[in-house]
Amino acid sequence: MSLGGRKWLWLSKDTNWILWGAVFLRVIVSSIVINRGAYMAVDSSRYISLAESLVESMHFGMGASNELFRTPIYPLFLSGCMLISKKYFFLVAIMLQQSVNIGIFLIWRKLLRIFISSNKVRMTAEILYAIDLQSIFYNTQILTDALFQSLVLLFVYWMVMFWKKHSEKYLIGSGFLIGGLSLLRPIAVYLPIAIFIGVITVYLTEYGNLKRGIRISIKFLLCALLPMLGWCCRNYLLEEKFTVSTVANYNTYVYYAGAVEAELKNQNYYDVIVQREERINSAADNIENEKMIESGLKLLKEHPAIYIKYHLKGMLLECIYPGQIDLFTACSDSFEKGKENLKSILTSDQNFGEKIAESVRYVVREDRLFALAGVSLAGEVVFLAGVFGCFAGACIMKSVGYKWYEKWMLIGVAAYFWICGGTPFGIGSYPRFRLPFIYIMLLCAMMRIDKMIKCKGT
């Protein structure tokens, strides 16, 4: 299916330098990460093991067991990389992930032209995409997140094109894509239902054509469900579990119920998490496993306020925690050393003024790289604050130059991934959990800035 006609490949001669700058920056970061062997994360080894199993025996599982926890798309992607080069599959994977990210830059540029009239605002948004170090870094990791982020933007673009042209091919393509994305990361599994309801609502309220709204919505939903149902049937036939993945059950028992238990028993949250992980991983059989999950759900139902409190805290941390910390930690030994030295200064017996003065002296005189990293991290915090602030403004502004439902589709998709990604306390590598929605929020924020410029001009 076309991405919107041949014009989608068109590049502005005035801003081509942004594209080439984006390519150059990704090559530099990728080279540093690969040279240091810093492309492995916590979940990477399991994906690699599943990919190796697919290549060697066409079996999706660990040993003789069938895999239900991880979904198949990313291990299939890695297995394809291994077929190209068994020894350097990670290099192939990183090159492909960065290439997809650069390719989606063209989609990003197209979205900016659709919603933003100011050339300066569009150029600013393109530069922010090009220099987003967090996204660049996660494209060097053997993880699903960055690839998922790029394809979510493609999904959003096809949905926008559907609303602009009312061509069913874009909606059907979006359906198949979101179904596939659910097998890349199960977090997307409920999004088709929200889109289904949204399309029917728009056709009823805006066009008074409920019949067509229902017809095309059903087509979309069937296309989205087809990949998921196929995988659910596989899981049921092998393990009698009709589910896309068991990861939601695991998270419910370990993280969500763990937050509630820690609050009720006044225990350290991370200690409770470790205990629950050990219990569920050592379950004797599926029956014991199911009982644990039921106990977790029961705990959440009995204390919903506690869970909601910690989930909201996780959503907040998801927004403000600088993702570049992972980049600098992976790419520089001195960054971790600098953190420890700075921590020792700040926890010393000196008074507050002396601690600040000593910290400044250390950063400025002894560790310039740490200072550079600090400035970069501060810049990311300012960027995130600006994005979320302007996103909030976009939610209340009047739609001008585009339909109200186009704006609310963007807001709805961003909100969906934000809410679903907000684990209690932001446990795990939570900066990467904002990757699916940060560019959508950035687009909404730029729409808000564009509107402010228009109002100022009039």
| Structure confidence by residue, pLDDT tens digits, 392-406 | 887 877 766 778 899
Helix 16-36 / helix 89-115 crossing angle, nearest 10 deg: 150
> 34-38, 195-199, 356-360 — which is least confidently predicted?
356-360
What whole-number distance in Å separates Cα of residue 431 and Cα of residue 253? Answer: 22
The pLDDT assigned to 331 comes to 67
What whole-number distance in Å separates Cα of residue 269 and Cα of residue 276? Answer: 11
The pLDDT assigned to 4 comes to 45
The pLDDT assigned to 93 comes to 95
Burial of 304 (0-12, 13-18, 19+ CB in 10 A): exposed
The pLDDT assigned to 439 comes to 92
Q: Flag whether pLDDT at 430 surpasses 70.
A: no
Is residue 116 a contact partner of residue 450, using CB atoms and an 8 Å limit?
yes
What whole-number distance in Å separates Cα of residue 356 and Cα of residue 92? Answer: 46
- The full DSSP string for 370-433 is HHHHHHHHHHHHHHHHHHHHHHHHHHHSPP-SS-HHHHHHHHHHHHHHHHHH--GGGTTTGGGG
Chain length of the chain: 458
Mean pLDDT, range 334-349, rounded to an integer: 70
Ranges of beta strands (E only) in 78-159 are: none
pLDDT bracket for residue 317 (50, 70, 90): confident
Dig out the tokens for 278 from the structure: 């050990």
| Structure confidence by residue, pLDDT tens digits, 172-193 | 999 999 999 999 999 999 999 9
Q: Flag whether pLDDT at 361 surpasses 90.
A: no
Q: Flag whether pLDDT at 5 surpasses 50.
A: no
The pLDDT assigned to 299 comes to 92
Tell which residue, 97, 185, 128, 135, has the closest CA to residue 323.
135
The pLDDT assigned to 323 comes to 67
Average pLDDT value over all residues in the chain: 85
Q: Flag whether pLDDT at 367 surpasses 60.
A: no
pLDDT bracket for residue 210 (50, 70, 90): very high
More confident residue, 6 or 19: 19
The pLDDT assigned to 362 comes to 66
Name, in order, each residue with C-beta under 8 angstroms of 12's C-beta and a sequence gap of 6 or more: 109
Cα radius of gyration rounded to whole Å, the chain:
23
Q: CB count, 10 Å around CB of 332?
A: 18
Is residue 254 a contact partner of residue 277, using CB atoms and an 8 Å limit?
yes
The pLDDT assigned to 370 comes to 61
What whole-number distance in Å separates Cα of residue 160 and Cα of residue 173? Answer: 12
The pLDDT assigned to 457 comes to 60
Which secondary-structure segment (H or E) carries 192? helix 191-205
| Structure confidence by residue, pLDDT tens digits, 113-161 | 999 988 899 999 999 999 888 888 889 999 998 899 999 999 999 999 9
Name, in order, each residue with C-beta under 8 angstroms of 452's C-beta and a sequence gap of 6 or more: none
The pLDDT assigned to 335 comes to 62
| Structure confidence by residue, pLDDT tens digits, 411-427 | 999 999 988 876 665 45
Is residue 171 a contact partner of residue 222, using CB atoms and an 8 Å limit?
no
Question: What residue spans define the domains of the chain?
Answer: 6-245+367-457
Q: Flag whether pLDDT at 296 surpasses 80.
A: yes
Q: What is the largest CA-CA distance in the chain?
A: 73
